[in-house]
Amino acid sequence: MSSPEIASLSWGQMKVKGCSTTYKDCKVWPGGSRTWDWRETGTNHSPGVQPADLEEVVKKGVKTVVIGRGMSEALQVPPSTVDYLKKNGIDVLVLQTEKAVQEYNALAAQGVKVGGVFHSTC
């Protein structure tokens, strides 16, 4: 199962190839995607992305996770979150969202089992 391409990104909107939903924030993994609803885990810009935000993606058997911090990089990623991924043997890239989408799509095109969480505003 391959990771779906992120077809488009603009402020507050993301589209994933093969999915009719337009996302504000999204999670992607080999074979699927869904809305990333921060309310599920109490996520906020600070302290930012929590391990709980990534558990679902990790369980899909990814080898790499790409985290998009937002267009202006307002979303924080604490060291504990990076450590969580590394302890699970997963490579992690933390980037501004436009760069994160480029990297994610490049990895997906190479057939890497890549997942991601992307914030499409600030």
8-state DSSP, 75: S
Instruction: Report pLDDT for 72.
Output: 98
pLDDT band, very low/low/confident/very high, at 30 (cuts 50, 70, 90): very high
pLDDT (0 to 100) of residue 38 = 97
Each residue's pLDDT tens digit, 75-110: 999 999 999 999 999 999 999 999 999 999 999 999
Q: How far is CA 107 from CA 6, 11, 42, in A?
A: 11, 23, 29
Q: Which fold has domain 6-118?
A: Hypothetical Protein Mth938; Chain: A, (3.40.1230)
Work out the average pLDDT over 28-51: 97
How confident is the model over 11-15, as a mean pLDDT?
Answer: 98
Mean pLDDT of the region 9-13: 98
